[in-house]
Structures are given as structure tokens and as C-alpha cells.
Amino acid sequence: MGTTYLKRQKEMKRLEKQREKAERRAQKKLANRAQSEARDENLSPTDYDAPGANVTGPSADHISPHHLENSPDPNGIPPK
């Protein structure tokens, strides 16, 4: 057997392993996506927290007007 033949066989084996690995990754990705969707479907609306329930920081009752004047604008405009 010539070296060219052996190199070609080695390259073919490498490509086959690469294809198999890509297939396994795709299967795993699909399985994870299906599992995630099934988990989301099983949650009832009461399983979700109310909007803002997990927000930390000062509540609206405790924010001083001074704090509001000096807070950065969400649009990137600096305070006056």
C-alpha cells in the first residue's frame, strides 16, 4: 500500500468522525430544545412571578427627587 492511499484513508476516517460529531451535537441540541419546550408548556401562569416581583433596589416610595434628577437617562443623555 502506498502512503497516498493510507493518507486518504486517514483523512476519510477523520471526516467521518467529524460528521458523526456534528450529528451528535445536532441531536443533543434538538433534545435540549424539546425538553425546554416541554418544561415551558408544563408551567402554569401562576408559576411565573408577577412582573417586577424580583426587582431589587429602592422602591418608588423611597426615591428622593434629588436621586431622580441625578440618575442617568436610559437614552444616554447626561443629567443637567
Q: pTM of this prediction?
A: 0.44
* Spatial distance between the Cα atoms of 34 and 24, rounded to a whole number of angstroms: 15
Q: Which residues, 6 or more positions from 73, have their beta carbon under 8 angstroms from its beta carbon?
A: 79
pLDDT in tens, 50-77: 555 555 655 555 555 555 555 566 666 6
- Identify the weakest region by mean pLDDT among 2-6, 23-27, 36-40: 36-40
Task: Tell which wins on pLDDT, 40 or 17.
Answer: 17
Q: Name residue 51's amino acid.
A: P
